[in-house]
Amino acid sequence: MKMAHEIKHHLTDDILMGYAAGTLPEAFNLMVAAHLSLCDTCRAQAESFDAVGGEVLNESMSNSAAMTSDSLAATMALIADGAMNSEAAVEQTADPVLPKPLRNYVGGSLDDVNWRGVGMGVKQAILPTSSGASARLLFIPAGAAMPDHGHRGVEMTMVLKGAFQDEDGYFARGDVEIADSDLHHTPVADIHEDCICLAVTDAPLTFEGLLPKIVQRFARI
């Protein structure tokens, strides 16, 4: 039995605050929700930022807007109609790799992921999120390297299974690497196990090494 991995690479305060304030693009929200499912340290920090929102709301007398005169009665009528359609939550079984928010996006478990090969044994599955940022699952065979790539925007990569190593350190389940345009890196999957990651970015990646531009366009990396 392997010891639970202690998460060492966390989300940053600006991301967590953006999640609490509701200003991040959907793909980033998905990354945060997936990470918080695995990391109580960041969950507590995110809920602290929720508390800031609560205080801002509570103190915002000057920003409050009068409700219409029959609004309470209208709300009681809404309540009498029963609970609003809480999103059609399909109850799935637990999955040792995908936390629940990701299961919602793949529509099931790891077995339901619609992988597409992008070369060198690397596979990806793009998850359906709104435009503005994209989210995808990545499968990197044990010991394989992702092509060296730089970034135009912000890219966050969280390990779900296995591990990878790059210039920034060693990343295992729950660890998030946050890369911006300054970082050029070549992640290499740990030799012992295939690596599965969630990666989100608000800009297309720019590859310099192995994948020619045409493949990049085709693969929507």
| Residues that bind other proteins in the complex, under the rule CB under 8 A | 12-14, 16-18, 20-24, 26, 29-30, 32-34, 36-37, 40-41, 43-45, 47-61, 63-68, 71-72, 74-76, 78-79, 82-84, 87, 99-101, 104-105, 129-130
Smallest distance, other proteins to C-beta of residue 43, A? 6
Closest contact distance (angstroms) between CB of 108 and other proteins is 16
Strand order in the sheet with 176-179: 116-119, 122-127, 134-140, 195-201, 155-161, 176-179
Indicate the residue among 17 and 160 with the shorter CB distance to other proteins.
Answer: 17
The single-letter DSSP state of residue 27 is H
Nearer to other proteins, 99 or 187 (CB): 99
Nearer to other proteins, 88 or 214 (CB): 88
204 within 8 A of 221, measured Cβ to Cβ: yes
Output 62 or 167, the one with its CB closest to other proteins: 62
Residue 93 CB coordination number (10 Å) = 7
| Cα(102)–Cα(100) distance, integer angstroms | 5
Q: How far is the CB of 22 from other proteins (least distance, A)?
A: 4
Counting other chains too, the contacts that 39-44 makes at CB distance below 8 Å and 24 or more residues apart are: 39/7, 39/10, 39/11, 39/174, 41/7, 41/10, 42/10, 42/11, 42/16
Min separation Cβ 200 and other proteins, Å = 11
**Separation between Cα atoms, residue 37 and residue 60, nearest integer Å:** 31
Q: How far is the CB of 169 from other proteins (least distance, A)?
A: 22
The residue among 59 and 111 lying less far from other proteins, judged by its C-beta, is: 59
- 139-164: buried (b, 16+ CB within 10 Å) or exposed (e) per residue? bbeeebbbbebbbeebbbbbbbbbbb
Minimum distance of other proteins from residue 154's CB (angstroms):
9
The nearer residue to other proteins, 133 or 211, going by C-beta atoms, is 133
